[in-house]
Amino acid sequence: MPEPRARDLGLPFHGTTGPFNAITDVAGVLVGFTTLTDPARKMKTGVTAILPRGHDTTPSPVWAGHYALNGNGEMTGTHWIDDAGYFVGPVCITNTHGVGAVHHGAVRWMIDTYADHFAGHAWAMPVVAETYDGILNDINALHVTPDHAIAALQSATSGPVAEGAVGGGNGMISYEFKAGTGTSSRRVSIGGETYTIGTLVQANHGRRPWFTVLGKPVGKLIPEGAFASKEQGSIIVVIATDAPLSGLSLRQIAKRAAIGIGRAGTPGGNSSGDIFLAFSTANAGPMPQHAPALIQKTELNPELLDPFYLAVVESVDEAVINAIVAGRDTAAVKPEGLIVRGIDTARLSAIFSEGPIA
């Protein structure tokens, strides 16, 4: 039986979700994980892989935009996204010291998957992002290897997405609760068409006193187990949509993730790398070097994007809460003796069954 998610606990999130309430509700978007857990080696980490165009063997640009609320972190490939408005290949998320190994693995996967393309002169620039898992994982042991990234990419599939201590989220903490990977989605209707927004977060940010769920001060109502004196983590947000949006509009979409994470209370701490990527699977086509001189694309009128902005804010907020709801008690490796608690889901549910809080 699947673990309960935030909505299963009676949390009244707004908006209409897709069937999985996950980033995989965007057709063609796949998610895979490599989860690495070995207490004897103080290992609790992994890799999350997102394939915007599935296992297609012909590379095709994915229109994209990114935004950094606070830059104490890494997301590779963003300089080109800013200049070109697109990227090609996968998105991976891991721990801070695993970026190089995962980038190596993602490049290897691209060379093998797009073999015909790389038979000539071609370059690979996958997107790889990170958050710090050094409390629950011996991050300096460099457990993550290129093969782990390749395995996550090869395992990517559609359907429900595992949450909490899976993939890159395995060793992550949010609002001083065990957290990690979370996902959610929304449906938006504009101009007679229905589109999907899907989000996936690697939540590793926030302090307990800040923690707010749908307006209720949950961090103050469940203070037990808090251990941090300052913000010491980050959050990566990946937003997917099938709506035809330009790179500029997608950057505006990515910005709204900042409001989404803010709903749960974070102000975006100085030590937190809060970095967001938005991409659209619409307007698929050949690589630019193989495209005609005149490129024609469909694009939604930016004046009509307000419902998308709200959908992003709501789905990012819910994805963060889903990541926390999935957390379970976990022993730290540094400092030894610390137990990072999973949130008490019964107490969380009770808070929302008790009515308004003064």
* Domain range summary for the chain, segments of one domain joined by +: 6-285+297-352
- Nearest to 65, CA basis, from 312, 328, 320: 312
Task: Output the pLDDT for position 354.
Answer: 72
Mean pLDDT along residues 305-317: 98
Q: Which is catalytic among the residues 234, 249, 280, 315?
A: 234
Mean pLDDT along residues 276-293: 92
Q: Which is catalytic among the residues 274, 280, 315, 317?
A: 274
CATH number among 1.20.120.80, 3.60.70.12, 3.90.1150.10, 3.30.830.10, domain 6-285+297-352 = 3.60.70.12
pLDDT at 342 over 70: yes
The model's pTM: 0.96
Per-residue pLDDT band for 160 (boundaries 50, 70, 90) equals very high
Task: Output the pLDDT for position 24.
Answer: 98
Instruction: Please state, as a whole number, how many other Cβ atoms lie within 10 Å of the Cβ of residue 79.
Output: 10
Contact (Cβ atoms closer than 8 angstroms) between residue 181 and residue 200: yes
pLDDT at 1 over 70: no
Task: Output the pLDDT for position 358.
Answer: 44
Q: Which is catalytic among the residues 272, 280, 315, 317?
A: 272
Task: Output the pLDDT for position 328.
Answer: 97
Task: Output the pLDDT for position 3.
Answer: 81
DSSP H stretches of helix in the chain: 78-84, 99-113, 115-118, 146-154, 218-221, 247-262, 306-325, 345-353
pLDDT at 86 over 60: yes
The CA distance from 225 to 152, in Å, is 32
Residue 185 catalytic? no
pLDDT tens-digit map of 166-221: 999 999 999 999 999 999 999 999 989 999 999 999 999 999 999 999 999 999 99
Residue 158 catalytic? no
Mean pLDDT along residues 224-242: 94
pLDDT at 325 over 90: yes
Per-residue pLDDT band for 355 (boundaries 50, 70, 90) equals low
Residue 174 catalytic? no
